[in-house]
C-alpha cells in the first residue's frame, strides 16, 4: 500500500514478471517517490487498475496517461472511463471492462466486483498468482454478500476502516457530509469492519491491512484495537497492520 486515505490512494501488486498499480490518487512525482521507497519504478508498471473516479483515486492518472515514460495499460470499467477528465482525448492504451469481469494481466488473475459506493461504477478487486490470493475492498458503505464472496480464501486482505461513528457524529463535517459517509453508499465504519472480521473473515487470511482511515473521524490506535478484538473473537491469528496516508506499508512477500 503506497498511500491510503482521503488525500490519495495507490497500491502495488507485483509478481516476478508483472507489476500492477491499483489506483493513482497521488501525483506522478509522489507515486515515483513511493515506488522508489519499495524498490520499484513507474517505467516498470505493466498496468494501472482504477476502482472508481473520485479524485483521491485518480488525481495522478491523466498525467500518467500522457507521459511517454509510462507504458502501463490503464484498466477501468466502461462506465467509469467517461467520468475521468483526460484532457483533450482518452489515452490510446485504455482498456475497459464490465464490472464483475475476470481477466489476466501477465501472470496475475484479476477479478473485479461491484461495491456499494457513491461513484459511477465502483469496483473492488481480487488478485491471484501462484496460489496466493489478495483481496481489496475500500470505499464501500457496507459489505454485501456478493463482496463477501469475492473476499473468500484471501491470504492478504485490504479492507476499509474509515471512521469511528462517535467521532464522525461530533466531528467538524456538515451534517449532509456525515449522512453521506454513514450511508450504504458511503464508507465502512470501524463497527462494520469489526462485524465483517468477526463473522465473515476467511480463516485462511494471514495478513489484514486496514486502510482509508479518516484523518478527522478516526484514529489508527482505535482501528488497531477494534480490529484486534474482532480477530481474537473470530479466533484468527491474522497479522494486522494499519495503512497510512503518508508512507508505504511494509512489503508483503509470499
User: Are 63 and 146 in the same domain?
Assistant: no
By C-alpha distance, which of 105, 57, 108 is closest to 80?
Answer: 57
Q: For residues 33 and 25, is the Cβ–Cβ distance under 8 A?
A: no
Beta strands of 36-173 (E only): which ranges?
Answer: 47-49, 73-77, 94-97, 102-105, 108-114, 123-129, 132-137, 156-160
How sure is the predictor about 251, in pLDDT bands with cuts at 50, 70 and 90?
A: very high
Domain count, the chain: 2
User: Are 89 and 27 in the same domain?
Assistant: yes
How confident is the prediction for the chain on average, in pLDDT?
97
User: Are 234 and 137 in the same domain?
Assistant: yes
Name the one residue in this structure whose C-alpha cell is 490510446.
Answer: 92
- Give pLDDT tens digits for 72-84: 999 999 999 999 9
- Give pLDDT tens digits for 17-27: 999 999 999 99
Burial label for 42, CB within 10 Å (0-12, 13-18, 19+), is: buried
Range of the domain at 31: 1-98
Strand partners, 241: 209
Among 77, 98, 119, the domain-final residue is 98
Q: And the C-alpha cell for 244?
A: 497510512
By C-alpha distance, which of 241, 85, 70, 73 is closest to 161?
Answer: 241
User: Are 142 and 70 in the same domain?
Assistant: no
Residue 56 inside a domain? The answer is yes
User: Are 139 and 232 in the same domain?
Assistant: yes
Sheet holding 11-14, edge to edge: 11-14, 19-22, 47-49, 73-77, 94-97
Residue 204 inside a domain? The answer is yes
Residue 121 inside a domain? The answer is no
Domain with 31 in it: what CATH number?
A: 3.60.15.10
Residue 251 inside a domain? The answer is no
Amino acid at each position: 500500500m503506497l498511500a491510503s486515505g482521503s488525500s490519495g490512494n495507490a497500491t502495488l501488486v507485483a509478481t516476478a514478471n508483472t507489476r500492477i498499480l491499483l489506483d493513482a490518487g497521488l501525483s506522478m512525482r509522489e507515486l515515483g517517490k513511493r515506488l522508489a521507497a519499495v524498490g520499484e519504478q513507474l517505467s516498470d508498471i505493466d498496468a494501472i487498475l482504477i476502482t472508481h473516479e473520485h479524485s483521491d483515486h485518480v488525481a495522478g492518472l491523466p498525467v500518467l496517461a500522457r507521459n511517454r515514460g509510462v507504458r502501463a495499460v490503464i484498466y477501468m470499467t466502461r462506465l467509469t472511463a467517461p467520468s475521468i477528465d483526460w484532457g483533450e482525448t482518452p489515452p490510446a492504451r485504455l482498456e475497459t471492462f464490465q464490472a464483475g469481469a475476470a481477466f489476466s494481466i501477465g501472470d496475475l488473475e484479476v477479478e473485479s466486483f461491484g461495491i456499494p459506493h457513491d461513484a459511477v461504477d465502483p469496483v473492488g478487486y481480487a488478485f491471484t498468482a501462484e496460489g496466493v490470493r489478495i483481496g481489496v475492498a475500500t470505499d464501500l458503505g457496507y459489505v454485501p454478500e456478493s463482496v463477501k464472496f469475492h473476499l473468500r480464501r484471501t491470504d492478504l486482505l485490504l479492507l476499509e476502516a474509515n471512521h469511528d461513528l462517535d467521532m464522525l457524529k461530533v466531528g467538524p463535517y456538515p451534517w449532509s457530509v456525515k449522512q453521506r459517509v454513514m450511508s450504504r453508499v458511503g464508507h465502512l465504519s470501524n463497527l462494520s469492519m469489526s462485524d465483517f472480521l468477526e463473522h465473515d473473515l476467511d480463516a485462511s487470511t494471514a495478513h489484514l491491512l486496514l486502510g482509508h482511515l479518516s484523518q478527522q473521524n478516526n484514529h489508527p490506535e482505535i482501528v488497531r484495537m477494534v480490529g484486534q478484538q474482532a480477530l481474537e473473537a473470530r479466533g484468527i491469528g491474522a497479522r494486522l497492520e494499519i495503512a497510512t496516508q503518508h508512507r508505504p506499508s511494509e512489503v508483503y512477500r509470499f
